[in-house]
Structures are given as structure tokens and as C-alpha cells.
Structure 1
Amino acid sequence: MGTDIRERLAGLGLRLPEVSAPKGAYVPAVRSGSHVFIAGQIPLTGGELTATGRVGAEVSPERAKELSRQCALAALAAADSVAPLESVVGVVKVVGYVSSAPGFVRQAAVVDGASELLLDVFGEAGRHARSVVGMDILPLDAPVEIEIVLQIAGDDRP
């Protein structure tokens, strides 16, 4: 991606948040060879949930899309803690989980918030495979959760 990643973030009016402490027995991100696997990120502000509830009930789809974007930005912060974002050569996969009210079927539009952020930040290198899953409930009653796999330049160390 190159050294302009921080400038691109700033140009988008974004800054990486602090990496949130895990809410369980795991780490926020792991580097394995040329990939960074980022644990599922829920929308946190100052370590607390930004919003709770199901999309299509307590949380509007539009708000959930914003929260999905927030999760993706948090995922980039987690990735940066194990490999500099400047070393990212591509986004491999995004998995989005959406806590959905009965009858809500627009989960893909919610997770577009994360996908669009990655395209805004990485350009063509931000194009990725994706899965989206509607859930009855997510941890801590979060409306969305996003996990990402990035490819990075460098050695193939485990």
C-alpha cells in the first residue's frame, strides 16, 4: 500500500482508535506469515459499546452501517499493532455478523459500511471476498461484528 496510508486516513477525516482490550481470552490480531488475522471487532467507544440492540429494531440499518465502518477502523488499528498498515498489500476477506430483528434481510447493506471503508483506505487493494451472516444476538448485545484478514508484504515468518 505504501507510506501514504496515514495521509489517506487523515484525508478521509479518520484516525486509528486505540486498540480495545479483548473482551475474552484472545488477542486482537495475529500475524501469520504474510497474513494478519483480526479478531471480530464490535463497535466500541472508549472501551464501551457505542450502540446495542438488533438491526431493524433498536438500531436502524443506516446507523448499523456506520457502526460497521467503525468496526473496520478498529480492525485496522488492531492490525497495525502487529504489522504496520504501510505493509498491507491487500484485503483478503471480510466477515460481517449482524444482529438482526426478525424479518430483517439487508445484512449485506449494513456490512457495506466496512467494505466501503476498506476501499476508501486501500483503493483497489481494498477489494475483498466477503461473507455476511444474520444473527439472533451478538456478544454484549452488539449490533454488528466485523472480522478481517489482510495480506502484508514481507517475509513468510509464522
Structure 2
Amino acid sequence: MGAVEARLAELGLELPEIVPPLAAYVPAVLDGSRVYVSGQVPMVGGVLAETGAVGEGEGFVSPERAKELAAVCALNALAAVKSVVGDLDRVERVVKVVGFVASDPSFTGQPGVINGASELFGDVFGDAGRHARSAVGVVALPLGAPVEVEVIVHVRD
């Protein structure tokens, strides 16, 4: 077990199995020193952890729960990175995170939701986990997921 996976264990987290593609794409592509990770939804054990739009009140996924699900997406992204580089200790920096939040039209807290992913990367990688980011509200996501996260990381040879 490398240092990154040991850090995950210290945080009480376990790297999941890679989420198989849901359509005609691959989970991650290594291109030179960059890994481009396809959008990851909050799959846990092959099942979507929750469905629905994020918002306030009855019938919506709460922003707090959506933030937790964004962290699940980030873990799935790390599994995708490992699938193409073999060892997460090769990650030199998380470069960019793009988060999508299926949102009630009145919901404007997308940045807080995607903090779930950003904070996980910071907890795991320290300063190397600080990244550029976008957090976007959308009408719907694949399979009815409330959140989706894609990542670009820089790796060393």
C-alpha cells in the first residue's frame, strides 16, 4: 500500500473498485503526464447511492447529503486514476475538478456541494490537492444522479 492509500485509510476511507463505464467511453485516459477522468457519479458497490435533484425541502437531496456524495465521486475518480497509472503515489497534483449538480431551479449552492470532492482531494493530497474548479448546476445527470465529478490530475513518470 502506497502513501496515498495509507492516507485514505487514516481518513477512514477505502479506495473502491473502478466504476465500469455506463456508455461508450473509458473511465480514465493517461495522456503524457495528465490523467483525464470521465465524470464519476456516486456509485457504491455497483449501485447509485442516491438519485434526485439537490435543493432545500421535501423531495430533494439535501445539500449536505449531496456534498457527501461528491466525496464518493472523488473516491471513484481516484480509483479511475489508479486504473491507468497503477499507483496513486504517482499523482503530483490535482489540476482541475469540474462538478455538476442536478439542481432545483432555485438552488444556487453548487459550490458548497462540490466542496465535498475538493475537500477530499485536499485531505488526501495536502497542497497538491488544491485545484482549479468549476461547479455547475444542471437539470439532470446520468441515471438520475444528484452529482457528478470529473478530474484532471498531473502524474510523475
* TM-score normalised by structure 2 residue count: 0.95
**Residue 151 (1) aligns with residue 150 (2):** no
After TM superposition, list the pairs within 5 Å mapping 1:70-149 onto structure 2.
70-83=72-85, 84-149=87-152
Partner SS, residue 81 of structure 1? helix
Identical-pair percentage:
57
Structure 1 stretches of at least 4 aligned residues deviating more than 3 Å after TM superposition: none
Residues 37 and 148, structure 1, Cα contact 8 Å, conserved in 2? yes
Matched with 2:23 is 24
- What is the one-letter code of the residue matched to 1:62? E
CA distances 1:39-93 after superposition (whole Å, capped 9, x unpaired): 0000011211100000005200000000000000000001000012110000000
Residues 28 and 80, structure 2, Cα contact 8 Å, conserved in 1? yes
Residues 52 and 58, structure 1, Cα contact 8 Å, conserved in 2? no
Aligned-pair Cα RMSD in Å: 0.8
- Structure 2 unmatched ranges of 5 or more: none
Tell me the number of residue pairs that the alignment of Structure 1 and Structure 2 aligns.
152
Residues 5 and 15, structure 2, Cα contact 8 Å, conserved in 1? no
CA distances 1:99-143 after superposition (whole Å, capped 9, x unpaired): 001200000000000000000000000010001110011111100
After TM superposition, list the pairs within 5 Å mapping 1:33-52 onto structure 2.
33-52=32-51
CA distance in 1, matches of 2:156, 2:30: 12
Partner SS, residue 63 of structure 1? helix
